[in-house]
Amino acid sequence: MRFMIIVKASKDSEAGVMPSEKLLTDMGKYNEELVNAGIMLAGEGLQPSSKGARVRFVGDKRVVTEGPFSETHQLIAGFWIWKVKSKEEALEWAKRCPNPMPGTEAELEIRQIFEGEDFGAEFTPELRQQEERIRVKLEVQK
C-alpha cells in the first residue's frame, strides 16, 4: 500500500520562513530512517502558495488564480510518499516524525493512494498497459 503523508502549512511556512538547522538535521535523520526501512518513495517540501497558482475547471473553461491563498490550514507545506503494509504502519511512522512546525501546532494528513486494482473493471487491460508504460518511462527519467 502506498500513502501520501501531507504536511499542512503554517503561517511561518506560508511566509517563507526557512526551517532551522536543527529541524533540517532532525528531518534528515527521520528521512534516512524511512529510506533505510524501505518505506520512503519520495518526499519534498513546497514553496509558499505565494509562488503558486490554482487552475479551476468550470465546464470547458480554465480559470487561473495566482497565490497566495488565504486559508493556511488548507494548504500543503510538504509531503512524503511511503510504501507500507497498512494504514496503521503509516500512522506509527507518522507519530515518530519530528514536529515539522516547531513552536506551533502542526498536522500531518495520511491518505492512501489508489492502485490499479482499486478501479475494478473500468480499468481495462489497455489502461493497465498504458499505466505500466508510463511507470517505466518515469523510472527511466529518474
Residue range 118-129: average pLDDT? 94
Domain residue extents for the chain: 2-115
CATH superfamily of 2-115: Dimeric alpha+beta barrel (3.30.70.1060)
pLDDT tens figures, 5-35: 999 999 999 999 999 999 999 999 999 999 9
Instruction: Using alpha carbons, list the distances in angstroms from residue 116 to 90, 98, 110.
Output: 20, 33, 19
- Given a cut of 90, is residue 133 above it in pLDDT? yes
Report the C-alpha gap between 102 and 140 in whole angstroms.
38
- Strand 53-58 to strand 61-66: parallel, antiparallel, or no bridges (unpaired)? antiparallel
The tens digit of pLDDT for each residue in 53-74 reads 999 999 999 999 999 998 888 9
pLDDT for the residue 78: 97
How far apart are alpha carbons 19 and 102 in whole angstroms? 9
- Closest among 46, 58, 40, 53 to 16, alpha carbons compared: 46
pLDDT value of position 73: 83
pLDDT band at 52 (very low <50, low <70, confident <90, very high): very high
Pair 9, 76: CB distance under 8 Å: yes
Q: What distance in Å separates the CA atoms of residue 117 and residue 26, rounded to the nearest whole number?
A: 37
- 53 neighbors 65 (Cβ within 8 angstroms): yes
- Local confidence band at 142 (pLDDT 50, 70, 90 cut-offs): confident
26-50 average pLDDT score: 97
C-alpha distances in Å from residue 71, one per residue of 68, 111, 116 = 9, 20, 33
